Amino acid sequence: MKNLRVEAIVLAVGLAILGVFLYCGLRSFSRQDRIVSVRGLAEKEVKADHVIWPIVFKTSSNDMQDLYRQLNSSNQVIKNWLQANGIPANEISVGAPQISDLRANQYSDLSNRDRFSLSCVTTVSSSQVDKVRSLIPRIGELLAKGVAIAGDEYSNQVQYDFTKLNAIKPQMIAEATKKAREAAEKFAKDSDSKIGKIKSATQGLFEIDDRDQYTPYIKNVRVVTSLNFYIEN
């Protein structure tokens, strides 16, 4: 009889402990099942710190040697003009010339045209964004020097880039995370709850776009952070 009483006490204690664990486990499960998903957006305007400026010149002739002379002369004029205006030689590169034989095209009307056409691109790749921007409107000065500059070519547009993204990443991620937490806290307040720990977090890709079509040298950087918070009573 005594042994049965001891066993009963042990069983009762065991069941009580099990009940406590089950209760705590169910509370934990219930608490972890309540989450809120929020997003935080961070945006920042920055100025481009690098520019690529293609300068295209075109000419034509019936004589290949004449084309060659024009090519060398025009390339030198362009290079001299750039260097005279503060662009160093190591920021200037000259591409291979493109030559077309117009008579090879059976649909060409050669009655008033030279046989050969030539185009060549001189490219400025520089971190002197403001200086290059000041030179672009002055490109007509090359026309006065006898260089036939071609403009508005889709494949040779001025390109502005922002290369210092890594320097602003931490600040922007922190800002996006802060805004996400603020959104979660507002949700919790409206539902008479409070925010717990972060369950999971996902950082979106950084996007860099022109602010608008008129100021491509001003960039808009944005990133979205997604957070899942536990909700507590």
* pLDDT tens-digit series, residues 63-78: 889 999 999 999 999 9
Q: Higher confidence at residue 66 or residue 101?
A: 66
185 vs 152, which has greater pLDDT? 185
d(CA 117, CA 101): 7
Q: What is the pLDDT of residue 5?
A: 57
- Mean pLDDT score, 184-196: 88
**The pLDDT of residue 162 is above 90:** yes
Identify the pLDDT of residue 7.
54
Residue found by looking up tokens 């709850």 in the block:
193
Mean pLDDT throughout 77-97?
Answer: 97
Report the Cα 190 to chain-centroid distance in Å: 37
The predicted pLDDT at position 93 comes to 97
pLDDT at 180: 94
Residue 15 has a pLDDT of: 44
Stretch 205-232: mean pLDDT:
95
Alpha helices in the chain (DSSP H): 2-33, 64-84, 129-135, 140-144, 165-190
Q: Give the model's pLDDT for residue 116.
A: 86
- Say how far apart CA 198 and CA 202 lie, in whole Å: 11
Give which of 188, 224, 181 is closest to 34, Cα–Cα.
Answer: 188
Find the range with the poorest average confidence among 17-21, 32-36, 60-64, 168-172: 17-21
pLDDT of the residue at 119? 92
- 11 or 105, which is more confident: 105
